[in-house]
Amino acid sequence: MLELEDIQHYLLARPNAVIAQYNFITFHNAEAGRKWVEALIPTVGTAQSVLAANPNDMRWVSLAFTWNGLQKLGVSEEELATFPEAFRQGMAARAAMLGDTGINHPDNWEDNMASEDLHAVVILFARDKDERERCIKKHQEYLDQTPGVEILSTLLLEAVPPLDYVHEHFGYRDRITTPVIEGMVIGAKGEVAISTGPKEESRIPEFTSTSPGSHLPSKPGEFFLGYPDETGVIPLQPQPEVLSKNGSYLAYRKMQEHVGAFRNFLKQNGKTIEEQELVAAKLMGRWRKTGAPLVLSPDKDDRELGFDNQRNNNFDYEKMDPHGYACPVGSHCRRMNVRDTSVSRIMNRRLIIRRGGTYGPYLPDDAPDDGANRGIAVFAGCADISRQFEFLISVWANDPEFEHLNERDPFAGSIDGAFEVTIPKRPIKKKLKGLQAFTTVRGGAYFFLPGIKALKYLASLQ
Ligand code: HEM
């Protein structure tokens, strides 16, 4: 049973926030860092408090640390050595393996993301601008009380209009798919509850949306440390146990979206609006406006299907569309979750929980490209950075050998210069060549998201 009262809410509950701020933090000394952690603990929402949806309890604060941050707070070298190598090294040090070269190289990253002084991130979510300002002000008060802690950089996140559903700057509907974890109860409308005991259930319909997928629910140990994973055993945990139990890793990725280049591409490859929408859908694997999956609706968008949480994830690739005639093998969704495809022996070992949102100004449909910095800033939650996040990025997104395509993921791939996409068609494949990159990696880091007891442990270190 997941210890919901100890787990930070971030990966389990999804508050209805349209606005957020990430504060990236540096500690100048251990004492100040620990004081700051201690002051913030009561503001951190647990899975239980946020899932219970008490309207007066809108503490959507999350707190996570880099390996350098744990070291700075005074975790012993012996204990630090028990954390996995990927986390110890950090994302910037692993750039070559992740395909972050050329324009995507950490030398070009923003917000001091590649700096060794990056120690922590505070994620402040809010329902609206006023609420966010209140959170930011409150956090500033904590910082004023602890002079040895400073903000290294901040990133403002705002939902892209129109706000009737979540989408990113290219216009794709997002937040459709998320792994279902054993113990989650899915209601008739796709709402999620987490069973907190044999009888007791906390219902949280307005907080999360997920839907039954084509694979079985995941074991909790795929996302939270201290629980059995898909192999049936509890993997070795970093020590001491109080620090790691109920924790998760967050792989952060900030990607600029070149909306002008993307829209030009659609216009160059589709004469009519319908054709352009089909090209956009082929790149993603889902229709842009509704998220309806191409496997289930290959020729035209289907609003009812897209918004039906019982059906919009209930499909497979190998069995239903082996050649990719409906959903191209190289499309983003098909690469990021290969479902029943044979490249995956046990799919539930490669899942991530996606969190985050969009930053930068909205570019209206008819506006000329203004070159502004806009994109997504996302956290991939998992229990094993290397097996889950890094595998997705280095192999499924970036390895040209993936399914012998000689291509990279059109969105999550690190593309420096021209690239290609294949849209399988009977009787011949259609290969679009010399495309300009739609995205650029602008930052990244690995964080550890501890449980509440672990936060207390960090605050109490000597
Ligand atoms: C600018 C870059 C990106 C864009 C525009 C983008 C957009 C999207 C959209 C619209 C969806 C479909 C919505 C859904 O199924 O909930 C999706 C799914 C997904 N994306 Fe991304 N994404 C980007 C980068 C990434 C990165 C960097 C990762 C990996 C860390 C990632 C991992 C996934 C996964 C795992 C899914 C779910 C696929 C499924 O289960 O069927 N994406 N993405």
Question: Is 392 close to ligand 1, i.e. is its CB under 6 Å away?
Answer: yes
Distance set, CA 295 to CA 104, 201, 280 (Å)? 32, 34, 15
Looking at per-residue pLDDT, the higher value among 155 and 421 belongs to: 155
**Rounded distance between C-alpha atoms, residue 221 and residue 233, angstroms:** 9
Total Cβ atoms within 10 A of residue 233: 9
Question: Ligand 1 center to residue 62 CA distance, Å?
Answer: 22
> 187: pLDDT confidence band, cut at 50, 70 and 90?
very low
**Band of the pLDDT at 297, cuts 50, 70, 90?**
very high
Residue 22 — pLDDT band, cuts 50, 70, 90? Answer: very high
- Beta carbon of 289 within 6 Å of any ligand 1 atom: no
Q: Residue 229's pLDDT band (boundaries 50, 70, 90)?
A: very high
pLDDT score for 200: 36
Residue 176 CA to ligand 1 centre (angstroms): 10
In order, the DSSP letters of 205-232 are TTT------SSPPBPGGGTSTTS--TTS
Task: Report pLDDT for 204.
Answer: 35
pLDDT of residue 16: 66
The per-residue pLDDT for 290 is 96
Q: How far apart are CA 389 and CA 410, in angstroms?
A: 17
Query: What is the predicted pLDDT for the residue at 401?
Result: 81
Q: What is the pLDDT of residue 53?
A: 60
How many whole angstroms from 75 Cα to the centroid of ligand 1? 34
**pLDDT beyond 50 at 201:** no
Token couple for 222: 């795929």
Tens of pLDDT, residues 348-379 = 889 999 999 999 999 999 899 999 999 999 99
Which tokens belong to 280?
């956009």
Higher pLDDT, 217 or 358: 358
Ligand 1 atom at minimal distance to the Cα of residue 439 = 1
What per-residue confidence (pLDDT) applies to 109? Answer: 98
Residue 176 alpha carbon, nearest atom of ligand 1 = 16
pLDDT at site 334: 94
- Please state the φ and ψ torsions of residue 233, each to the nearest 5 degrees: -120, 160
pTM reported for the whole predicted model: 0.93
